[in-house]
Amino acid sequence: MKPFVSLVGRGAVLRIDNVDTDQIIAAEDCKRLAKSGFADALFARWRAKPDFFLNRPEYAKASILIAGENFGTGSSREHAAWALRDWGFRAVFASSFGDIFRRNALKNGLLAIQLDGALLEWLRRLVEDNPELNISVLLKEKTIAVAGESIPFTVDDRARWLLLNGYDEIEVTLTKAAQIELYERAREEWLPTHLPSRPEPSNVVRVRP
């Protein structure tokens, strides 16, 4: 992965709290085997409404989604992060996130950035008044620079370190293989294990749809 150090872009304000992953991308649209190409599915149902924020011309060039509270709550589907990224978003600001979504987003280079509620509201007003405003996200400094102000944010430290260096997390963990093996030798022998058995055929099943 390429290191991710900073980003400059425009914001788009979505004034809905508790946006769940089923709204970001419906289950039906997750039935693809690829990891990209989900842009068309992003907020598909809500996008059918002409005044939905993604349809507004002033937000056409936005790369920062400015949301509310508990963004990305619900399902573990990583497709939600893929769809936002595929659409062109590189960061999401919220006052809180669904935990799994936050992890998923950061693993795909989509900065899930947590802002204090009052600061978030200030920023939302600012962008609503002036959608062309440039917002700089400085990952190293953990600050946002906008309209001459510098706002601190919270982001997962580990994800930040991986992003700043462009590291592959699995590769990092694989360097610890010796310690993992050591741990495995001490595991209780009664812990369950599974090895492939033959599928057990079912009896004749009665089906009455």
Partner 1 sequence: MTGATLIDKIWRGHVVIGEEGEPDLLYIDLHLIHEASSPQAFDGLRVAGRVVRRPDLTLAMEDHNVPTNTLELTEPSGREMVESLRRNCELHGIELFRLGDRRQGIVHVVAPEQGFVLPGMTVICGDSHTSTHGAFGALAFGVGTSDVEHVLATQTLPLPKPRSMRVEFMGDLPQGVTSKDLILALIAKIGANGANSHIIEYCGTAISRLSMEARMTMCNMTIEAGARAGLIAPDDTTFEYLSRTPHAPRGRAWERAVTAWRKLPSDRDDALFDNAVTFDASSLSPFVTWGTNPGQAAPIDGFVPDPSLFSDQREKSAAARSLEYMALEPGRPIASIEIDTVFIGSCTNGRIEDLRAAAEILKGRKVAESVTMIVVPGSMEVRRQAENENLHEVFLAAGAQWRLSGCSMCLGMNPDRLQGRKRCVSTSNRNYEARQGPQVMTHLASPAVAAASAITGCITAPATIAM
Of 25-33, 59-67, 132-140, 142-150, the window that binds partner 1 (rule: CB under 8 A) is 25-33
- With beta carbons less than 8 A apart as the criterion, state whether 70 and 98 touch: yes
- With beta carbons less than 8 A apart as the criterion, state whether 140 and 151 touch: no
Regarding 25 and contact with partner 1 (CB under 8 A), the answer is: no
Distance, CA of 91 to CA of 208 (rounded, Å)? 49
Provide, rounded to whole angstroms, the least separation between the CB of residue 198 and partner 1.
9
Q: How far, in Å, are 13, 27, 80, 85, 180 from residue 32 at the CA level?
A: 29, 10, 13, 16, 33
Provide, rounded to whole angstroms, the least separation between the CB of residue 158 and partner 1.
5
Among 158, 165, 166, 167, which residue interacts with partner 1 (rule: CB under 8 A)?
Answer: 158
Strands of the 135-138 sheet, one edge to the other? 111-114, 91-94, 62-66, 6-13, 135-138, 143-146, 149-152
Regarding 165 and contact with partner 1 (CB under 8 A), the answer is: no
Kindly identify the residues of this chain, within the stretch 61-80, that bind partner 1 according to CB under 8 A.
68-70, 73-78
Regarding 129 and contact with partner 1 (CB under 8 A), the answer is: no
Q: What are phi and psi of 143, to 5 degrees?
A: -135, 155
Regarding 208 and contact with partner 1 (CB under 8 A), the answer is: yes
The footprint of partner 1 (CB under 8 A) covers 16-18, 20, 22-23, 26-28, 30-35, 45, 68-70, 73-78, 81, 96, 98-101, 103-104, 107-108, 156-158, 168-170, 173-174, 176-177, 179-180, 183-184, 187-197, 199-203, 205-209
